Each structure stands twice: as structure tokens, then as C-alpha cells.
Amino acid sequence: VIVQLIGRSLSHAQFYHGLMPRTYCEEIIKNIGDFLINGEAAFILSVMIEKKKVERVSHIRIVHHSGLWSIEDDETKKTSTIFSLIKLYEKEKFSISDATGPFLKSVVRRPDSYLIHEDIEVGEEIGKGAFGTVHKGKLRRECRLMLRFDHPNIVKVYGIAPGDTPVLIVLELASGGSLKSFCKKNDPVSSESLVLFARDSLNGMHYLQTMKVIHRDLAARNCLLGAQNELKISDFGLSHVGDTFHLETMKSVPVKWLAPETLNTGTFSHKTDFWAYGVLLWEVYSRCRTDPFPGLTNAVAKDLRISHHPPMEPLPNTSIAWKEIMNDCFMSVFFI
């Protein structure tokens, strides 16, 4: 409780980064003496130090005792507020951690995407999704990833407010709702719209590849629509930055959207994302009336993917160009 209350009083201090995790701090602290404060269960001073000619970020607890704040293991310097404690160490150039340690040189300022709770007006609830159910640590990681994106076919994140609980994320409003809901309300969806959905999702996936992001959960359920019904890929809770990702256990995975190499070895890559894109194409041209491999269990669908090529045929209403693209997605070796 005290962390939450004091954290609110620090909300306008540029050195306070709220509930962001240590990994975030270590990514943005670059030089000796650079520092910031973060905290969830306790306030932590994160500062770049050098020990034995090796630079690393040290995380030091700020402790509260008898109404005064001090740096852990150095109770000779105490002040009534965290703000005044930091200013004291800055002004007097007191060493951190030991007599030969660095002093606080430069505040690592919060990015422009850092928002303050009191500046956000929370409106009516418009739905529930992955953002409302994932673990908050994962939520912060997902938001940090999405802040990098700037593409019309990717849902935009405008900022994150991690200074208090609940952590708030400000997302672009996809006013057209979900792709699946749109198809249900407008059945039958026009062939022209299906082509646009296929094109938009392909453009979004290509952008993610240029950003070296593996989505890992591309499916119609994770596609939203903008004001002009332009498709936007969303839900990056499982995403990974890099060329490959290996999953040790294959529990609670969307089996019907996974490539054979993922099912066999637990490996995800940009190629397996485009396999999933082929399944998404099938969903689009089915007008989202059913999940892929209708009537089949996950086990049967898994065997079909591994033993048959292609594992699923394009639907009769699929245009010739998109049939070819779908079949290309299911090639055992596929390069974009």
C-alpha cells in the first residue's frame, strides 16, 4: 500500500518509471551513473555501475524506516521523501553501493509514451480481450513491443500508464470491431471485402517480419477492423522479437493454426507465421463461419497437417491469386 501511495506522489518525477520491470530498466540505462526508480513491491534505484571493468545495472532497494527514506546499506543519509533523497545524492555526489561506487549523474527520463493515470479518462467498457486477462508482467512486455509498431494494419498503442495499479494501456480504437463479429453481422460478406481483408493481413504480416517480430498467434480471432473496415492485427501476448522461438511444452496452444515444424519441435519462426497466415486466409474466405478443419479434433487435424500436403484446400470461392498464395504458405520451404 505504501508503495502505491508514495508512487502516486512521484508520478510527475521524470526519474520514476512506475511498475516497469527490471528487464525494461536494463534496456534503457546505458551509461555509468545513469539512473531511474521503479518499483512494485518496493522502490528500487536502478543505476549503471562498473565493477572490475564490467558495466552492469545495479538494482538497490530504497528503504523506509521511522518516517525516513534511505538507500539500503547506507542509513547515514536519510530524508523525509524519496524525491529529496535522490536530489541529495545528486547534489552532493554521494557514491552509490560503496565508497568507490558511482554517483547519480543523469536521470533516465521517461519516454513520451509514458502516461499518467490522472491524465486518462476511462470511458465505457467496449469489450474484453487478451489485454484484460493476461498476467500484468506479460501485459507490460506486450505493450513495450507494440509501442514500436507504426503500420495501418497493426493495432497502434499510444502509451502505457504503469505508475499505479491497474496498469493502463491506451490503444487505438478499432471501431469496426472484430473480424469475426463483422462477418457474422454482415453475412454474406462481399467478395471485394474478403480480398481487402486478405491483402491487409498480408501487409501487416510483412511489416512484422521487417520488424523481426514473430506473432505466434495469427488467427481471425486476433484481427480487428478500423473505421473504414481496414484489417488490423492485434494481440501480441505471445509474440517474440527474433528469428526463431522455441517452446518447451506444447500445452494450451492453437493446434489448428500451427505449422508442422512447430508441432514436431516446438519451433516458431517467420515461416511458421506465414503458415498460420495460410490458415487465416482459409478463415477469411470461409467468412469466419467456422474454425479451420471443421468437424475435426485437434489430434486429427495435427495428423492431417503432418501427413498430407497441402493440409487444407482453398475454398471454392477463393480467388485464383489468393489460392496460389495460400498454397505457397503451406510449402515445406517458404521464403517471403
Laid out side by side, the sheet with 231-233 consists of: 177-178, 223-225, 231-233
Cis peptide before 310 (omega within 30 of 0): yes
Q: Where are the alpha helices (DSSP H) in the chain?
A: 2-9, 22-28, 82-92, 130-133, 136-146, 179-185, 191-210, 260-265, 270-285, 298-307, 320-329
HEC-encoded secondary structure of 147-165: CCCCCCCECCEEEEECCCC
**Enzyme catalytic residues:** 217
Residues facing residue 68 across a β-bridge? 65
Q: Say if CB 284 and CB 297 are below 8 A apart.
A: no
Q: Packing angle between helix 320-329 and helix 270-285, nearest 10 degrees?
A: 140
d(C-alpha 112, C-alpha 50), whole Å: 29
